[in-house]
Amino acid sequence: MGTRRATTIGAALLVLISSTAVRAAETTIPLGARADKIDVYTARQGPVALVGLLDEQSLAIVDLTSRKITGRIELGIRPLVVKRIGTTNLVAIGGPASGNLVLVDLDKQAVARPPIDLESGIFDIAADAARNRIVVTHPAAERISVINPKTGQVRIFPMPAAPLAAAIDPASGNLLVTLGGSEVLGLAIVNLDNGELIARLRSGSTPEDMALDLTHQQAVVLNSGSNDLTLVPLGNSTRGFRTIGLDWRPTRLALSKDNRYAYITSGDSDRLQIVDLEAGRIVQTRPLGRTPTGISLLEDGSLVVAEAGTQALRRITPESFGATELAPLPPGSVAGTITDITGKPVTKGILKVEGRSVPILPDGSFLISKLPAGKHLVDVQVPGYPQFSARVQAQEGYVVTDDIRLPPRNQAEKVNGIGFISDVPQYSDLLARSLVERLSNEDKSRRVLLLNGPLGPHPEFTQLAPLVKDLNLLNRDNRYTDDLEKLQTIGRSMGLRYIVVTQVQFSRGYNTSGDPILNTLLRFFVPIAIPSFTPNQLRSQAVAVVVDLQKVRSGDKATLFKSDDRDDKGGGALMEEEADGLFRQEIVHMAENIDNQWKQKNPFAG
């Protein structure tokens, strides 16, 4: 993967070359408030920036030639995103704390119409002036809104996950929208005429920003979760899917006029990263002011950056890049530990990367030194394990820690079985055993296994059992967490298409009213009722989560099957053994109920 850096700024940053090599001074414009996403356009008097001021809840119109704020419009919302609608005089503005979409008339420098209430916070806005529509993403509601800015008419389309960044293909009018979380297929293409999901394409983790490269028919997606760029081919593009690692956690993105370079702010590190998309590598990093966020490109090739920390706009001219040659990026190192699937360090093996062989030390540790900045593919060879490849990322001048976990020793060839895992609370294993017995009798064509029974783990599950210790599969919204990956590893190793996780919750109520006849006889002698503490009022709830390991992804809504049972008679006074027996009877009834639900809606038919 090693590449030689360009020896002149003309080879590395062609788009930013000026005919003069004189460094032009960078300029800053105080805003007096923090800002995030910005938009720019060219007016008669010169370039103008549209900046949403978060603290002041207003829109600032900034003349970049005179370096003055020429207009300030009160919005009534905290404006995260500002988007001009084509070449019109209208600007659409929204923010995550309010569901109101505000339209501003630039000519009148006033709000054009009453805010449009979309009932959920706004993360991004895409405008299609030719088709007279605006698209707004609502991550919390997992939907988008399509608005006619003239009439205020709103259409709502659900999304398969939380929508983040949005862009519209001007040729087809289709929407490209990124989906939050670690979803593998994190870029969706949507037909805005009817809300149809046309395609889902690969991306990185938490794709917060995106730009369309129409020259090369690709989407450039900025992934803050996986700390990289993904180049996603679209339509008739002959290019393949590519990933470019970044040195610093990214915030926002802009492309050069010829779409060769990506300019990326890093709000956490106060830096600008410049990526050559053709070469697939970082060609320059440079410091900015505190907490740089939004970034836009002007017609003359200048960059405009919003700096939330300094509460200012910074304009960076092409000459400020072209003054000197690019300094070579110092190499980095990656250190870590190789562990097996249970987390135990391996004792021997080698790593192959960049044409070199690096030994794994007896304690499982490794050190790969002198790696160029960026992502690298490492071939891991450990005796007794299948060879596989892992990605590591080197950062310029730093030693990065990146542990690598080996896959299972064996990979199943046929994957259609069903495995049951019972949760820790008492009686969950009984529910799992009852369901396993029912399914085994009803479907002889596939394996149905109890992975962790009362007699210990299934023999094939023994090496994998540590993966489900402290398993936290669902969040409070019943969506899969990243622990889903642990179940997918188990499924690949044991040939399981589905894993069912069972849980039983139970409670005891006590009858404290006592025997009414006895209390009547004794009321003249004992002026209180004598309770009998009978463990009656028994309540149980069974839950079975059916996980289709080939279809679901982290963040998807889980499929739950539930059943309740109760007993109001209970056993004799203080006889917990009788209550235990009644609980077990309830579980048998609930297992039958869940099995009947499965017969009506077969969750194993994938």
Give CA torsion, residues 210, 213, 219, 220, to 10 deg. -50
On the question of pLDDT at 589 being above 60, the answer is yes
Determine the Cα angle at 223 with ends 273 and 389, to 5°.
100
Cross-strand pairs, 295: 305
The CA distance from 460 to 574, in Å, is 42
Tens of pLDDT, residues 131-141: 999 999 999 99
Least confident of 72-76, 92-96, 135-139, 564-568: 564-568
The span from the CA of 89 to the CA of 74, in Å, is 17
Q: Where are the domains of the chain?
A: 37-158, 332-405, 417-600
Other Cβ atoms less than 10 A from the Cβ of 330: the count is 12
**CATH number at 332-405:** 2.60.40.1120
- Is the distance from CB of 133 to CB of 145 less than 8 angstroms? no
Of 9, 81, 17, 84, nearest in space to 317 by CA: 17
Q: Of all residues in the chain, what percent carry a pLDDT higher than 90?
A: 50
What values do phi and psi take at 565, rounded to 5?
-150, 160
Q: What digits encode the pLDDT tens for the residues 40-79?
A: 999 998 999 999 999 999 999 999 999 999 999 999 999 9
Short-list 500, 514, 522, 489, CA closest to 410: 489
The model carries a pTM of: 0.60
Residue 256: how many CB atoms within 10 A of its CB? 20
Consecutive H or E run containing 588: helix 576-600
The answer to whether residue 322 scores a pLDDT higher than 60 is: no
Domain 37-158 CATH superfamily: YVTN repeat-like/Quinoprotein amine dehydrogenase (2.130.10.10)
Least confident of 98-102, 263-267, 320-324, 409-413: 320-324
Residue 12 has pLDDT above 50, yes or no: no
Taking Cα atoms as reference points, which of 378, 336, 335 lies closest to residue 354?
Answer: 378
pLDDT in tens, 475-513: 878 889 888 888 988 888 888 999 999 988 877 665 555
Burial category of 466 from C-beta neighbours within 10 Å (exposed 0-12, middle 13-18, buried 19 and up): middle
Q: In this predicted structure, what is the pLDDT of residue 495?
A: 86
Tell which phi-psi region holds residue 273, choosing left (phi > 0), alpha (psi between -120 and 50) or beta: beta
